Amino acid sequence: MNYFVSLIGKPKVGKTCLFKILTNKDINLGDKSTDLNYCEFIENNKIILIDTGGISFNKNNEIDKLILNKTIFSIKNSNLILFVLDYKTGFLKDDSKILSLIKKNNNNIICIVNKFDNLNYQMYCDKDFYLLKNKYNIIFISSINKIGINFLLKILINYFNENKKIINNDLYNFFINKEKVYNKLINISILGRSNSGKSTLSNSILKNDILITSKIPNTTTNNTELYSKLYNIKITDTIGIDIKKDKNLFFKKIKKVILKSNIILLLFDINSEISNKDINLINSLVKFNIPIIIGINKFDLVKKYEKKNTKKYLLNKFNNIKNYIYIVFISSLYKENISNLIKLSKKTFNIYNTEYKTKYINKLIKSIIEHYKINNSYILKIKYANIIKYKPLTIIIYSKNAKSIKNNDKKFIFNFFMKSLNIKGFFIKLIFKEY
């Protein structure tokens, strides 16, 4: 049985810091939380903690309204609410409004007073906190100094041992995170510029509106892992790329996510011009030796009679790589061509993980030699080939004239292997060596 616990509170009360400490999850604490982050943090009791965005009652702010809707969803579907307060500011008007909101949707509440950095418990009798103590369980902690954390964990375990509650199926479908199953899934990381539709695509794959989406740039502030029951894959929605800034800074933030990925899905907005910086970004991603698929999003915005020419124009922009990487035109909003995108991702993953027999590789070498006998004036003096590595496939080709093989011939051999092995999305490595 899984139990869901949501951290609820206004901005800057320390929810994300507490989430990070309880789950040991790597989160950038300098950013504002917007989406629902989740992690199974007490394995034996199967308690899943959900970090929500800070609630603000600003009706004129689109992001705040979206956060509020997501947070209400989390409150309704959780088994327990940890209502996080700031000891230093006291119990304010917004805290009172948030508590009323929680009570409307869920009566299972424990109040967590954070930033309690002084162990003198006589100081905690703020009048409003004292009134809360009469109605709710209240725990004083300091996330930064890790005061009261072990006590909080014991309270949670005891709470669910005493209250055998049935889990909510809706939330279970969103936040299932069992490591034994999870680690076997294909992990697709969605990268792209801000507002390219990464979170909308994630929602489309999930078939649920769980991630916050907006026209406002940089809505996604943390990398968020999610599980798609429909496609049986793990997806990671990532922070937006700002190509105007130093790409090295972006890779520093995203490197861990990339290295954990099985597939990188690089998303482009059809309305944004493909620049040299975008091509350089692709070249930088290729160096990670992880399969890449390019998605051109918002294809629904192109008029029907313009679609053919638009495709041709964009494929020309990717002229140097279009034969080596799948380029898929999609609409995240209307879920067009999403299943094909996932199908190609799985196909690429399976080919990437194929362990070819050396015998088969040498059979292809014979075909290459035969081609040169028929079509060229000289013979490639290749003796045999040997596989030295997989992921990516790396082949040593032993030849009598390895040093004198022309670049055009090397390119031909490379393309022959790529086509014969049906490889797209990643590049094999060929090493020519004298024997």
Q: How many angstroms from the chain centroid is the CA of residue 39?
A: 14
Has residue 155 got a pLDDT over 70? yes
With 0.75 as the threshold, say if the pTM is over it: no
CATH superfamily of 358-434: K homology (KH) domain (3.30.300.20)
pLDDT score for 185: 80
DSSP string, 348-399: HHHHHT----HHHHHHHHHHHHHHHHHH-SS---EEEEEEEETTTTEEEEEE
Correct CATH for 179-352 of 3.40.50.300, 3.90.1150.10, 3.40.1260.10, 3.40.50.720: 3.40.50.300
Determine the average pLDDT of the residues in 176-204: 76
What residue ranges do the domains of the chain occupy?
A: 3-173, 179-352, 358-434
**What percent of the chain has a predicted confidence (pLDDT) above 70?**
81
Has residue 292 got a pLDDT over 50? yes
Mean pLDDT of the chain: 82
287 burial type by CB count under 10 A (0-12 exposed, 13-18 middle, 19+ buried)? exposed
Q: Which pair of structure tokens corresponds to residue 172?
A: 């279970």
pLDDT score for 44: 54
pLDDT digits (tens, 9 = 90+) for 120-142: 544 545 567 777 877 888 898 99
The residue among 325 and 19 whose pLDDT is bigger is 325
pLDDT score for 303: 93
Top mean pLDDT of 148-152, 317-321, 417-421 is at 417-421
pLDDT score for 172: 45
pLDDT score for 180: 45
Determine the average pLDDT of the residues in 245-258: 76
Residues across the chain: 435
pLDDT score for 244: 67
Determine the average pLDDT of the residues in 310-322: 92
DSSP string, 64-99: HHHHHHHHHHHHHH-SEEEEEEETTT-S-HHHHHHH
Q: Tell me, yes or no, if the two domains 179-352 and 358-434 fold the same way.
A: no
pLDDT score for 158: 83
Has residue 219 got a pLDDT over 50? no
Can you tell me the distance from the alpha carbon of 315 to that of 321, in angstroms, rounded to the nearest whole number? 9
pLDDT digits (tens, 9 = 90+) for 72-97: 888 988 899 999 999 888 889 999 99
pLDDT score for 175: 43
- At the topology level, CATH places domain 3-173 in Rossmann fold (3.40.50)
Has residue 344 got a pLDDT over 70? yes
